[in-house]
Structure 1
Amino acid sequence: MLKIGTRLTIETIKNGEVEERFQCKIAEISKKYIYIDYPISERTGRTSLFLDGSEFMVSYVGHDGNVYKFSTEVIGRKKMKIPVLTIKMPNKDEFRKIQRREYVRVEVPLDVAIHPKQEDQSPLITRTIDISGGGIAVVGLGKEKEYQSGDIMDISIVLPFQSNDYSYFFSQAEVIRTIRGHDASSSKITYKFVNIDEKEREKMIKFCFEKQLDNRRKVLNQ
């Protein structure tokens, strides 16, 4: 499930809450250990040294497009081509697939086409406000006056992955809430995906996670 070069997000936990997040990559793997480059704090942009025995949560995107989490601890340090931290390799049953309530939500403006199932409702070509593996929010463009909570619609979005590959996302979605703004461009409609093919959901989750990591890198490079 893990491979050299996989980017990891590390979260330190205090009193049940995320205290700080870090980014790193896997430099080497053995049966018992994972060797990572020194994690970089998202808050300070600096490398951080963890004491032996330090415990934290790790998340990453798997080869299947799903996001996984596991807990681990620092075992020690090692000198390879670069200095690395040695962390414990979890057992197979300790990898946890992120559930719907934990889906990463990112703010990103993407073109989206929405086609209602009701013949008396007109389609909406707009842009997203934010997206996640569970649903999306879009600019209403006046349709928030026409659409109602519970309406089922077909949604299609083009996802631009960092590899310069474009992937089409398709799903049915249910209107959750409509919010009127002071004008059409500030109105909002929120949807949750329904009857979604899990391969499509995995595609969306992978894009969101990739986008989140890209946003973090931009912050660190400022």
Structure 2
Amino acid sequence: MLPTVNQMLYYHIASSDEAEAAIEYRSRIADEEEGALHIEYPLHEQTGRTKRLFLGDELSVYFLSPDGVKHYFDSHVIGFKEDAIRLVRIVKPDPERMTKVQRRSFLRVPAELELAVKMSEHERFVCYTDDVGGGGISFVSDGKWALQSGGTLDCWLLVPYKNGVIEHVSFQAEIVRVNLLESGRKQCMIKFVSISDTERGKIIRYCFEKQLEYRNR
């Protein structure tokens, strides 16, 4: 499924500035041509202010289908068009490289990311993830930690993007399952029970970038 004229696009603009890269913008598709979409100038999703784009700017984009599925793709600015209003030309997505994410079903990707875990005021540790997704993650920890199904954890995840920006994502999670490994370490599967849409969006964006990276190998 490809986006169509008058559809709204939502996206992040690649930036070395951490705060700028985290901002979500939206634009309406005003027109299209072979290989390109013509979009209106970006509006800040929260403030409604316009944002200037430059030739070559990289975008991580998604749009919503009527059934609530998010379709993600990477694009970049390839030019501008003077119409009744100035439009931005971006590369039309390749259907083979688009990622679909159901509203309540999130993409998971293998990833070794640093995770800080707080079990109680006196029990904290740092470990690494096995995989991450918009609905939860799994990690491997030392066997000495008393991790049990149904327990809750406060977590902070370091999420690096391909543009060099590193985000810190905080959330509360519930332990779904704990496996004891042959090495004596523990593999723990957790699901998010308290996470903001902004924080979840950071993880989904990372998953999207990693999936595109795997496809391009």
TM bracket (short chain): 0.5 to 0.7
Alignment of 1:129 onto 2:133? no
- TM-aligned CA deviation for residue 140 of structure 1: 2.7
Q: Distance in 2 between matches of 1:85 and 1:153?
A: 42
1:98 to 98, 102, 109: 102
Q: Distance in 1 between matches of 2:164 and 2:121?
A: 37
Deviations 1:130-156 (A, max 9, x none): 000000000132156x11111111111
In the alignment, what sits opposite 2:114?
Answer: 111
Alignment of 1:142 onto 2:140? no
Cα gap change, 1:105 to 1:34, in 2 (>3 Å): farther
Q: Distance in 2 between matches of 1:173 and 1:85?
A: 37
In the alignment, what sits opposite 2:71?
Answer: 69
Considering only aligned residues, what root-mean-square deviation do their CA atoms show, in Å? 3.6
- TM-aligned CA deviation for residue 216 of structure 1: 1.5
Summarize the alignment of residues 1-222 of structure 1 with structure 2, pairs less than 5 Å apart. Answer: 1-2=8-9, 31=30, 33=32, 35-36=34-35, 61-62=61-62, 68-69=70-71, 98-101=102-105, 103-116=106-119, 118-119=120-121, 122-143=123-144, 146-185=146-185, 187-217=186-216, 219=217
Q: Distance in 1 between matches of 2:197 and 2:92?
A: 35
Mark the runs of 5 or more structure 2 residues left unpaired by the alignment: 1-7, 14-27, 37-59, 64-68, 73-90, 95-99
Q: Distance in 1 between matches of 2:165 and 2:135?
A: 22
In the alignment, what sits opposite 2:18?
Answer: none
Cα gap change, 1:106 to 1:97, in 2 (>3 Å): closer
In the alignment, what sits opposite 2:78?
Answer: none
Cα gap change, 1:119 to 1:2, in 2 (>3 Å): closer
Q: Percent identity of the aligned residues? A: 31
Letter in 2 for 1:158: L
Residues 34, 86 of structure 1: 8 Å contact kept: no
Equivalent pairs counted in the alignment come to 145
In the alignment, what sits opposite 2:22?
Answer: none
SS in 1 for 2:208: helix
Letter in 1 for 2:71: K
SS in 1 for 2:163: coil
Deviations 1:34-87 (A, max 9, x none): 6438xxxxxxxxxxxxxxxxxxxxxx7339xxx8239xxxxxxxxxxxxx9999
Q: Distance in 1 between matches of 2:197 and 2:128?
A: 23
SS in 2 for 1:100: coil
Letter in 2 for 1:197: S
Cα gap change, 1:148 to 1:200, in 2 (>3 Å): same
Deviations 1:150-183 (A, max 9, x none): 1111111111111111111100011010000111
Q: Distance in 1 between matches of 2:101 and 2:187?
A: 31
TM-score by structure 2 length? 0.56
- TM-aligned CA deviation for residue 198 of structure 1: 1.1
TM-score by structure 1 length? 0.55
Rg larger in 1 or in 2?
1
